[in-house]
Amino acid sequence: MDVLSLPFIQHAILAGILASVACGIIGSLVVVNRSVFLAGGIAHAAYGGVGLAFFLSLPPLPCIIGFSLFMALIMAAFTVERRHRMDTFIGVLWAVGMATGIILIDLSPGYNVDLMSFLFGSILTVPVSDIKVMAAVDILIIGAMCGFYKEFLAMSYDMEFARVRGLPVRLFHFLFMALVALAVVMTIRVVGLILVMALFTIAPYLTERFSASLAGMMVTSTIANIVFVFTGLWISYRYNLTSGATIILVAALFFMIFIILSRFASCPRKP
Amino acid sequence: MAPGGDQQTTVLPEGQSRAGEVPDVEIENCSFAFNSVPVLRDVNIRIYHGDFVAIIGPNGGGKTTLVKLMLGLLKPQKGRVRLLGSDPAKSCRRVGYMPQYSTGEKGFPITVMDVALLGRLGLTGIGCRFTREDREAALGALRLVGMEKYMNKRIGDLSGGQIQRTLLARALISNPEVLFLDEPMASIDIDGQSMLFDLLGELNKKMTILFVTHDVGLLSRYIKSIICVNETVYFHHEPKISPDMASLMMGTGEKCPVEMVAHGIPHRVLGRHERD
């Protein structure tokens, strides 16, 4: 177990826990709101932030956070009324964000190897400064959930009813989108842009049907994510595989086992 | 009853006005369109306190839209809506709302108790937790609709009728002055329906009740007025369907999938007209 004494492994474990918390909480909210496509749009549009950081030689994380927040708020403005064809609009922003990122990187001098870490994750090379930012974002997310749990619950369960009860749903929708953007950006550090959605959706999907409350779902999803990240990390270290992809395949394995088991379990049970 | 028959009827487009009293719901010359398709045209309605109104009409006739206009969830392109004498956005907290039940919410991780508690939103401030008092109110409302023994059950483990009753408890918990119910009787069996009507009849002593139904066979003896909606709106200040209403629902060609079969009802709705 002397692997655990290696600083980069310690950082990876810390980053994994922090990202699991963010994905467990916000992923649950995304899944019960049926906003997975929206989260995917924000995750991919975040690539524009990567391009912007390279182009302007800015520190990547704050730049991506800023850009993703900006994109999330634009999407929030168009989805708050649940308008007709809002999914098309999300698809457009999704594509435009990625294209902007690619063009900006084309225009940046020199090819930067670090780019691949944004696409596929680089949990083994997470710098301490990023861990601090992640910790701050986690505290923000937990704080928002503790402070406004019943508001988020009301909005997720029945937005129209919440409006009739006088809840400023527009404000909370913007807050929700902003939190999704923050959580997405953090997950990019761990498993990469391409694989963000799996950590966001698999654990909440597995825990949704067993949870009696949204809060319970958030906690169990967080625990499930930590299991995925640790198992994936250990396998990737042991067999020298790409850590992000390994984490996702571990999650997918749990997902498949769950589906098969629940088939067997649900057969004799009466509804 | 021949569609478009030219019988003289007592249609009061604005309801019977009561001098000096502010109506609970007031709609003046309202029109509403969805993506430029007209849903409601030139609606004029005044509903006074204590009324028990059934909103009937065919599917897609605009019943739910009318309720959402009253609640301020939709804004009319033309005309004015007042709820309890002011802008619905301000007064909507003083009403109870039970939306149409959809099967989509079955997977949501929430218990019966927590659904009922959401009705206390707006009474307990933003950022505050629900209090013991809120929980007692929720328990009281659940007891009223006979759902207290299921309070810790997940909403997904309930039948459609039990979910409906939970949603009714959520609407009642804030002691509303006006109660809006959208298809409250859907997926509730006949016994449950008459029990629900008895409860609503009792509640009607304190509050104005408006409920949407597409099933004309469901009008009960507690009803005092009927609003018939099929793009245009008729307000009948009697619990009877006039020939005009029938023709509005039935006589418009393709838009007529309304059940006019009056089976098993405790009250005659397709009544004789006194003047005939």
| pLDDT surpasses 80 at B273 | no
Instruction: Judge: B114–A167 Cβ closer than 8 Å, yes or no.
Output: no
**Residue A239 confidence (pLDDT) above 90:** yes
Residue A100 predicted with pLDDT over 60: yes
Which residues from A are below 8 Å from B91, CB to CB? none
Write out chain B residues lying below 8 Å of A147, CB-based. 127
Q: What is the pLDDT of residue B275?
A: 44
Of A250-254, B104-108, B113-117, B249-253, least confident by mean pLDDT is B249-253
Instruction: Render B189-257 in DSSP notation, one character per residue.
Output: -HHHHHHHHHHHHHHTTTSEEEEE-SBGGG--TT--EEEEEESEEEEESSSS--HHHHHHHHSSTT---
Query: Residues of A with CB below 8 A from B124's CB?
Result: 150
CB contact under 8 A, B97 and A167: no
Tell me whether B86 touches chain A (CB under 8 Å). no
A154 to B118: CB separation less than 8 angstroms, yes or no: yes
Instruction: For B176, name the nearest residue in chain A, comparing CA atoms only.
Output: A165
The model's confidence at residue A7, banded by pLDDT at 50, 70 and 90, is: confident
More confident residue, A78 or B205: B205
DSSP for B50-99, please give it.
Answer: T-EEEEE--TTSSHHHHHHHHHTSS--SEEEEEETTB-HHHHGGGEEEEP
- Mutation to test the B interface, candidates A161, A167, A170, most B Cβ within 10 Å: A161
Res B104: pLDDT? 60
Cα–Cα separations (whole angstroms), residue B213 to A178, B56, B110, B179, B237: 40, 5, 27, 14, 17
CB B103 within 8 A of CB B155: no
Mean pLDDT (whole number) for A242-247: 86
Rounded to 5 degrees, φ, ψ at A84 are -55, 135
**Looking at residue A171, what is its pLDDT?**
92
Chain B: nearest CA to A188, how far in angstroms? 28
**Assigned CATH class of A2-264:** mainly alpha
Q: Among A9-23, A201-215, B3-17, B116-130, name the one with the lowest average pLDDT.
A: B3-17
The residue behind tokens 């969805």 is B34
Helix-strand-coil split of chain A, %, nearest 5: 85, 0, 15
- Collapsing DSSP to helix, strand or coil, B29 comes out as strand
Token pair, residue A262, equals 């629940």
Question: In a mutagenesis test of the A interface, which of B100, B121, B175 is the best target, namely the one with the most A β-carbons within 10 Å?
Answer: B121
Burial track A94-125 (b if 16+ CB lie within 10 A, e otherwise) = beebbebbeebbeebeeeeeebebbebbbbbe
Domains of chain B as residue ranges with CATH: 1-84+177-276 (3.40.50.300), 102-176 (no CATH)
State the Cα–Cα distance between residues A45 and A90, nearest whole angstrom: 10
SS3 A168: coil
pLDDT score, position B265:
38
CB A154 within 8 A of CB A162: yes
pLDDT at residue B261, rounded to an integer: 35
Model confidence pLDDT, tens digit, residues A245-268: 898 899 999 999 988 888 887 655
ipTM: 0.84
Both tokens of A135, joined, read: 């910790």
- Which of A31, A150, A163, A206 to probe by mutation at the B interface, max B CB count within 10 Å? A150
Please tell me which of the candidates B71, B95, B114 has its beta carbon nearest to residue A213. Answer: B114
For B72, name the nearest residue in chain A, comparing CA atoms only.
A164
Residue of A nearest to B88 (CA): A164
A112: pLDDT strictly greater than 70: no
For residue B93, the chain A residues in CB contact (below 8 A) are 164-166
Q: Is the Cβ of B73 closer than 8 Å to some Cβ of chain A? A: yes
CB contact under 8 A, A216 and B109: yes
CB contact under 8 A, A167 and B109: no
Q: How far is CA B23 from CA A4, B46, B83, B153, B237, in A?
A: 72, 6, 8, 40, 14
Query: Nearest CB to B93: which of A84, A158, A166?
Result: A166
B107 vs A147, A209, A271: nearest CB: A209
pLDDT, position A197: 81
Residue A214's SS3 state is: helix
CA-CA distance, A197 to A206, in Å (whole number)? 14
More confident residue, B259 or B207: B207
Place of tokens 């009787």: B185
Contact B93 A165 (CB under 8 A): yes
- Asked if the C-beta of B97 comes within 8 angstroms of chain A's C-beta atoms, the answer is yes
B92, B95, B127 ranked by CB distance to A148: nearest = B127
Whether residues B121 and A154 touch (CB distance < 8 A) is answered with: yes
What does pLDDT average to over chain B? 79
Q: Distance (Å, rounded) from C-alpha B157 to C-alpha B163?
A: 9
**CA within 13 Å, CB half, A61:** 18
Of the partner residues B93, B118, B130, the one whose CB lies closest to the CB of residue A157: B118
Q: Give the span between the Cα atoms of B106 and B158, in whole angstroms.
A: 9
What percentage of chain A has pLDDT greater than the value 90? 41
A269 pLDDT more than 70? no
Q: What is the predicted pLDDT for the residue at B276?
A: 39
User: Between B99, B127, B129, which is nearest A161 by CB?
Assistant: B99
B117-172: per-residue pLDDT in tens?
999 988 888 888 899 999 999 999 999 998 999 999 999 888 888 898 899 999 99
| Cβ-defined contact of B121 to A163 (cutoff 8 Å) | no
The tens digit of pLDDT for each residue in A133-144 reads 889 999 999 999
B260 touches chain A (CB under 8 A): no
Query: B165 at the A interface (CB within 8 A)?
Result: no
Residue B103, pLDDT score: 62
| Average pLDDT of chain A, as a whole number | 86
pLDDT band at B266 (very low <50, low <70, confident <90, very high): very low
Instruction: Give the nearest partner residue to A217 out of B95, B109, B122, using CB atoms.
Output: B109
What is the rounded distance in angstroms from the CA atom of residue A40 to the CA atom of residue A75?
12
Task: For residue B257, name the pLDDT band (cuts at 50, 70, 90).
Answer: very low
Instruction: Give per-residue pLDDT as tens, B223-246.
Output: 888 888 888 887 877 776 666 666
Minimum mean pLDDT range among A181-190, B101-110, B254-263: B254-263
Q: How close A207 gets to chain B, by Cα (Å)? A: 9
pLDDT for B188-221, tens place per residue?
A: 888 888 888 889 999 999 999 999 987 766 677 7
Contacts of A32 in chain B (CB under 8 A): 108-109
User: Would you call A153 and B118 a contact, using CB atoms and an 8 Å cutoff?
Assistant: yes
